Amino acid sequence: MKFFLILFLWPALARSTPTVTSCGDEARRPKLDDINVICGTTTMTLLIQICPVVYTGYNESHLIMNQIDSEDCRATLDTTVSPPVAKFSFPLNSTNACGSIFRYTSSPGTGIFADFSNIQRVNISGMVQAVDPTTGLVTYNAELKYYYSCEYPLEYLVNNTQVNVSGSSVSVTDRNGTFLSTLSMTLFIDENFNDELDMSVEAVELRKNIYVEVKATNLTTQYHVLLDRCYATISPLPDNSSFFNLFVPCNKDKFTSMISNGESQSARFVFPAFRFIEQQDEFVSTYYLHCITRLCEKSTCSIFKQCSERRKRDIQELDPDSQYTLTSSQIVTKPSSLVSSPHTDKTSKGHNSSVGLGVAVGILATACLIGIIVGVVFYKKLRN
């Protein structure tokens, strides 16, 4: 019985809050790097070293995020890592992000984004504060605060750390995140977006429709996918390469059709296969599709569809190192089979008939002329 009792109690002992003695060298005053912020695509995670917290007179239950004391926003102790940490994890959704503040900023685009006057970023920030459990007039516990911040670009957060210490232990951590890993581009051959385009089989016939889907997977539901510009280039990297715009802000090629854009976490459009004229001496034309993708907050996507919100000018600069541009696998097109048209055949036959008739008339005229000359000669001889 004792043996089983020990096994039953062991997990609880393993998860108990470390003490100043068990922390050893980690029992010290808090430092600026005691908090680690993980900027995920659906959640943000805070990892706070627990030993400095214990040294200051608190434990994980005293750490409160943004003054919200709820079960979903409390820390859990993780002693399986060294040093042990208090872990906070909350969704990237402004309605239930444990009081985190969402701040959106806009700035004119540069480089490949020069065509856009409103490039957005979102900064998600907040504070974890230790609530002093002491009752009475005085306390021997230092004030303990941890500030966190994640910044994400939305065209597809900036380190600006300031520390003010005055009789308190303060840690500030800013991190940059990215949603790029959630985005993907897939080409299809059917309007239901079921059959993917397989370039390993054969080239695409000219004018055959190519259906394109840019989709976000494992992305917080806070944002929708909006395509700002899609274009094709001969080179997989659009540096010093010819390009053809399928659509740009407020304008699109007449053969490109938008199916859905900025309405969900996937955007779709269709265009007919074409050839680059500079590849006219080659049997097939090979090019790549690129899409500049914006992630817009659901309630504001309609704003970015309005032409009045954007600059209307040609794009003159392409940045091959832009990490917010999705690129497809190569697209190979071939010309249609060469078949003589009925009109061409009739014209050719009519031309040949005209030539034959002309030759016959010429021979007949020559024969008649010779006959007349011979007749005249015989007539003169008979008179003499």
Each residue's pLDDT tens digit, 129-163: 988 887 777 777 778 899 999 998 888 732 233 33
Q: Which residues pair with 102 in a beta bridge?
A: 124
User: Is the domain of 212 the same as that of 145?
Assistant: no
User: Is the domain of 173 the same as that of 268?
Assistant: no
* Edge-to-edge strands, sheet with 85-91: 35-39, 43-49, 85-91, 76-78
Q: What pTM did the predictor assign?
A: 0.65
Please give the average per-residue pLDDT across 275-302, as a whole number. 84
Distance in angstroms (rounded) separating the CA atoms of residues 205 and 273: 7
Q: Are 90 and 43 in contact (CB under 8 A)?
A: yes
User: Is the domain of 302 the same as that of 329?
Assistant: yes
**For residues 9 and 235, which has the higher predicted lDDT (pLDDT)?**
235
Please give the average per-residue pLDDT across 63-81, as a whole number. 90
Distance in angstroms (rounded) separating the CA atoms of residues 375 and 336: 63
User: Is the domain of 217 the same as that of 192?
Assistant: yes
User: Among 84, 72, 80, 75, which Cα is nearest to 46's?
Assistant: 75
User: Is the domain of 233 the same as that of 250?
Assistant: yes
User: Is the domain of 55 the same as that of 161?
Assistant: yes
Q: Which domain holds residue 219?
A: 182-334
Please give the average per-residue pLDDT across 48-68, as a whole number. 91
Q: Which residues pair with 104 in a beta bridge?
A: 122
User: Is the domain of 89 the same as that of 50?
Assistant: yes
pLDDT of residue 348: 40
Q: Read off the tokens for 215.
A: 């989709």
The DSSP output letter for 358 is H
Please give the average per-residue pLDDT across 47-64, as a whole number. 91
Number of domains the chain is built from: 2
Distance in angstroms (rounded) separating the CA atoms of residues 19 and 59: 9
**For residues 113 and 352, which has the higher predicted lDDT (pLDDT)?**
113
- Domain contains 340: no
Tens of pLDDT, residues 215-273: 988 888 889 999 988 888 888 776 667 788 998 877 788 889 999 999 999 999 999 98
pLDDT of residue 252: 80
Distance in angstroms (rounded) separating the CA atoms of residues 49 and 309: 46
